Amino acid sequence: MSVENVLSSKVRIKILKILMRMGELNVSEIARRLGVNYGTAIRHLQILENADIVKKKTFGKIRLYRLNEQSPKVIALQKLIEVWEHQNK
């Protein structure tokens, strides 16, 4: 998956920012914080998971997502978001 595909969505960027702040969240909590429905959140999380940016843990029906801290992509995205946020303050 290309960087353009991953970063072309405001929802995906917001998911990254939420997971950077909160660590690990379930799908319902991510959807609530974004103000989107469950299906929309799942679709965007699956794209991020396929790009190896987030990891999923499943406990029964509960799906928890977190950033894949070992991925060089995540390290680069975190740095980009931190610099961008700092510059806009």
Q: What are the pLDDT digits (tens) for 36-79? A: 999 999 999 999 999 999 999 999 999 999 999 999 999 999 99
What is the per-residue pLDDT for 86?
81
What is the per-residue pLDDT for 85?
83
**Cβ pair 12, 28 in contact under 8 A:** no
Q: CA-to-CA distance for 25 and 73, rounded, in angstroms?
A: 20
SS3 content of the chain, % helix, strand, coil (to 5): 60, 15, 20
Mean pLDDT, to the nearest integer, of 17-29? 96
What is the per-residue pLDDT for 68?
97
Which domains does the chain carry?
3-87 (1.10.10.10)
What is the per-residue pLDDT for 87?
84
What is the per-residue pLDDT for 3?
81
What is the per-residue pLDDT for 32?
98
